[in-house]
Amino acid sequence: MARRTKRLFTIGYEQTPAKAVLDELEAAGVKLLVDVRAVASSRRPGFSKNQLAAGLDERGISYLHLKGLGTPKEGREAARSGKFDLLHRIYSKHLKTAQAKEELDELSALVKQSGPVCILCYERDHTHCHRQWIAEIIEDREGVKVENLVAPQV
């Protein structure tokens, strides 16, 4: 089996302050954060697109929003209702769209070329989030090691 040298991280920010997430990313050596939310805004301080990008920049971490890898509205509604099987069906269909395919290819290339990359979304538990499926696809394509980061709740 080939040795896995590249790493791909995932992280969710639910119930976590921005500083804790940024600290976790910095400690892991992340060089690029890829935001895979369909809507890159948040009521949580520090997690709207521009605030997040600025906080990352202060720590030498680049930011990229890949909106096409976000969960469609009906998938977000299914997740909020705890209907994870439905979420998976909706998101699997979404991944077949042209924009999602193109952005998966872009993410694959970035993981190959960049330093450690981290995928960010809202859900704290990666097993209840679409970012887990994205990570699995990239893991299969690129042979990277996936690690799910969890910032401490403060």
Strand partners, 134: none
- In the chain, the domains with their CATH numbers are 7-148 (3.40.1010)
For the chain, the average pLDDT equals 93
Sequence-separated (6 or more) residues with CB below 8 Å from residue 34: 64, 65, 66, 107, 110, 117, 118, 119, 120
Rg (CA), the chain: 15
State yes or no: pLDDT of 1 exceeds 70: no
In this prediction, residue 5 has a pLDDT band, given cuts at 50, 70 and 90, of low
Q: Which two tokens stand for residue 138?
A: 């990239």
Average pLDDT over residues 13-40: 96
Whether the per-residue pLDDT at 3 is higher than 70: the answer is no
**Mean pLDDT of the 58-77 span:** 96
Own/partner pairs for 76-80, CB < 8 Å, 24+ apart? 76/38, 79/123, 79/128, 79/129
